[in-house]
Amino acid sequence: MRVSRFYLSTLKEAPAEAEVVSHQLMLRAGLVKRLTSGVYTWMPLGLRVLRKVEAIVREEMNASGAIELLMPAVQPAELWQESGRWEQYGPELLRLKDRHQRDFCFGPTHEEVVSDVVRREVKSYRQLPLNLYQIQAKFRDEIRPRFGVMRAREFIMKDAYSFHADKASLDETYREMYDCYSRIFTRLGLKFRAVAADTGAIGGTGSHEFHVLADSGEDAIAYCPASDYAANIELAEAVAPAAPRPAARAALERAHTPGVRTIADLCAFLKIPAQRTVKAVVVDGTDGRPVLLMVRGDHELNLVKTGKLEQVKKPVTFSSTEAIRALFGAEPGSLGPLGFKGKVIADRAVAAMADFIIGANQNDYHYTGANVGRDFPEPAVADIRNVVAGDASPDGKGVLEICRGIEVGHIFQLRTQYSSTMNLNFLDESGTSRVMEMGCYGIGVTRIVAAAIEQNHDERGIIFPRAMAPFELALVPIGMGKSAQVRETVERLYRDLTTAGIDVLLDDRDERPGVAFADMELIGIPQRVVVGERGLKNGSIEYQARGSLKAETIALQDAVKYVKSRICGD
């Protein structure tokens, strides 16, 4: 491809709307243009990247035995009413009416449609297992779209759905999809991690997320370097401390702590570490009465875990300041279990503490030397906090580290959640009607592009992994308009490289070198060959990899061979 016949639209300055680096670079490089909030046009350069990602996803899905189909984006309400999600899904579901005032939605996902396809088609165990997928635009009316295509409302997703006669078959396909996803992200050249995940709203049991590792990622991942344990922090178990609770030594004393409202205030005021404090959080209970949660001062409450407690109302709701004031006679910031009559749940770490500091249920007062059992009744104990770096790994093989990631894939065992409500039945070998087992497997294709940039960039722009770069090689002539030698050499090189199967972008604009270099670096082309009169005097050209700081001088006659070896090698 020649720049003169392509469409580059690079910007020197990033539009003000872009906050995160991948969004800024995608706009500056002209990969995408925003149409409206959370809705983007994929410009020609960006589309090349997207197509390369799609191609890899498609190849690996096909290789894993999945079969591609394409379902409609617009879906009738009847199917969603049947599954119960027309009511459940809420405002994220974009609802439409046709000219007859019939209800439709723009599909945010396709369990209903694929289930309808399969129940019409599949009658026998002989037709199972079946794994169907598509690569298609979804629309989810996010509360707050952000970060460009990373959290867009309209986005491209690869979604697959598998159907099985039994759980063993589901397990097998689930494993195949796990391996398939690992191959996809490996081929894309991304640093990623598969983590055990919460099943969230979709439900079902087994679930793994695939995260591209990046410091700016929205999700925190706990992993164990000494084993293969990895889990989303929402799920990662904080195991009980190995040491039992020490005996109480200190006496309970009321301390005047004027103006202290936060754990940080408290530590500064008493000059003690946060590990010796306990914070009390009040949430609404299932029975309508508040529940007091106790978490060590330096720990964070985990809302996903908390939401699974039977005593706690779903979704987890923090009690209002008014309710707290009425019940405790103190403001949030001075609360504690002493004298509290309602339900108390302590985190496992708190249950193993002695002589700690806690709010006294009176503004500006705390207790020091507080002890469970002695000063207030033994509370219920549960895992309700986020793990932190250094916590013991739940598999008992070392300690956890925390890193951040961007979720780009998610696989679920749905089991029979949809198949039973949607009547996905088949006849088994004995002629008995049974409900199918189901799995579903998603990849955010557009999000992968943003995540890749988030993970791979520098101050000059994007550094695309080779597999997803819009072009493999930038061919930059210097002074092409002036030097016939440069012009002829670069044209011949362009022909030879293209013939050798290399995806070349020839910058034939006859711009000044700085312009060409800056553009090719910004758009992230992983390799560059420069042809100038200076080098040609010695029969040489210049090669430089995007991520590397220095250029190499290569003999002109070896150029094609060298470039090929670099592209196929390392």
Partner RNA sequence: CAGGGUGUAGCGCAGCUUGGUAGCGCACGUGCCUUGGGCGCACGAGGUCGUGAGUUCGAAUCUCACCACCCUGACCA
Interface ranges with RNA (CB under 7 A): 10-17, 19, 34, 36-38, 143-147, 261-265, 278-283, 300-303, 318-319, 321, 324, 332-335, 359, 386, 460, 478-479, 481-482, 510-515, 517-519, 521-522, 530-535, 542, 544, 551
To which H or E segment does residue 230 belong?
A: strand 230-232
> What's the closest the beta carbon of residue 39 comes to RNA, in angstroms?
8
| 40 versus 441: smaller Cβ distance to RNA | 40
Angle at 12 between CA 7 and CA 14, to 5 degrees: 100
| 332 versus 444: smaller Cβ distance to RNA | 332
> What's the closest the beta carbon of residue 471 comes to RNA, in angstroms?
17
| 138 versus 279: smaller Cβ distance to RNA | 279
> What's the closest the beta carbon of residue 505 comes to RNA, in angstroms?
14
> What's the closest the beta carbon of residue 129 comes to RNA, in angstroms?
38
Three-state secondary structure call for residue 209: strand
| 232 versus 419: smaller Cβ distance to RNA | 232
Three-state secondary structure call for residue 35: strand
Radius of gyration of the chain (CA): 29
| 36 versus 430: smaller Cβ distance to RNA | 36
Measured CA to CA, the distance from residue 332 to residue 320 in angstroms comes to 10
Distances (CA, A) of 260 to 323, 330, 506: 21, 12, 65
Three-state secondary structure call for residue 472: coil
Nearest Cα neighbor of 301 from 374, 234, 218 is 234
> What's the closest the beta carbon of residue 398 comes to RNA, in angstroms?
24
| 131 versus 232: smaller Cβ distance to RNA | 232
Three-state secondary structure call for residue 229: coil
Three-state secondary structure call for residue 324: helix
> What's the closest the beta carbon of residue 528 comes to RNA, in angstroms?
8
In this structure, what are the phi and psi dihedrals at residue 476, rounded to the nearest 5 degrees?
-120, 110
| 75 versus 544: smaller Cβ distance to RNA | 544
Distances (CA, A) of 458 to 22, 28, 369, 523: 11, 14, 52, 11
> What's the closest the beta carbon of residue 234 comes to RNA, in angstroms?
8
> What's the closest the beta carbon of residue 374 comes to RNA, in angstroms?
20
Angle at 406 between CA 403 and CA 411, to 5 degrees: 105
**In the structure encoding, which two tokens stand for residue 493, read together?**
């090189």
| 131 versus 334: smaller Cβ distance to RNA | 334
What count of other Cβ atoms lies within 10 Å of the Cβ of residue 551?
15
What count of other Cβ atoms lies within 10 Å of the Cβ of residue 58?
16
| 76 versus 513: smaller Cβ distance to RNA | 513
> What's the closest the beta carbon of residue 260 comes to RNA, in angstroms?
9
**In the structure encoding, which two tokens stand for residue 279, read together?**
């914070």
DSSP structure string for 336-368: -STT--SEEEEEHHHHT--SEEEE-SSTTEEEE
